[in-house]
Amino acid sequence: MAPPHPVPLARARLLTSPSVSPAVVRELERITGRPAAPACAETPGEPFLYVGEALPEALRTPRLLWFHSVNAGTDALLAAGPWPEGALLTRTVGRMGERIAQYTLAWVLAECQSVPEHTAQHARSEWRRLPSELAAGRTAVVHGTGRIGSAVAGLLRACSVRTVGVSRTPRAVPPGFDRTVLAGSQEETEALAEARWVVSALPLTDATEHFFDAARFSAMRGATFLNVGRGATVDMAALERSLNDGTVRRAVLDVLPDEPAGPADRAWRLPRTVITSHSAGITAEEDVVADFASCWQAVVEGRTPALAVDTGRGY
């Protein structure tokens, strides 16, 4: 996506979602050198920038120069309707990679130390030694080799876990990975068979919906599955069958196809599964400010920001 032209950008209004805090709005005003106004139901009559979590229908117009999302995921934005032609879309990542990597490592080490089993024993006032497992030398297969996947792989690798990345297109091995394989290849199937942990950091696109299907789960040989990407990338019925037959040892799901999950959601009753309510990588206000500032600097210099989203591909 090309950055906005300097002339309309110079006179563009800055609009913000009601959800953006006053402290963040003040920082946006400082960065752009113009006052911010709350978005209203009426379509603006002049070019504008918008910062928020969703793009109202009234603002999906040719006058939109740039939308900066306060979230990392943009699938809901793009699924809500045609993206305005020529409008730049950027997103907030901040330190999300670090947070999600820490989340993943915490669950990996908790499993190695039998933390769930010790917790259950404590609830029963039961004293019994439980074995521990070394993470070092085991294999983690991480689907998604972008910023978040690389951060996850890097932290696991620091604990001497072998890291295999799975990508949909050929590319050089990104930081944090020992090697990469192509999605759908025999090498991916072999990697899943040797994995102790399988981590999904996939975005949701047409190509990744139900990516984790019966075939991928059946290729696992007792791996633990962690989803820190998007819920709809998983065929939940296939996951349930694999948990029941043991090809998946355990599941940690930070995301679900339907959120928030109500009390009747079948996901709560999956065996050996923990759900953590989409909290692995919560965006902080300082992340929004820092990432918008870096995007603004790129735009005023006529460059496409590193955090720009290819609206055709969905990420």
> Which residues are part of the catalytic machinery?
230, 259, 278
Cis peptide before 8 (omega within 30 of 0): no
What is the total residue count of the chain? Answer: 315
* Residues forming beta bridges with residue 226, ordered by sequence position: 199, 252
The candidate with the shortest Cα–Cα distance to 256, out of 240, 90, 146, is: 240
For the purposes of burial, counting CB atoms within 10 Å of the CB of 241, is it exposed (0-12), middle (13-18) or buried (19 or more)? middle
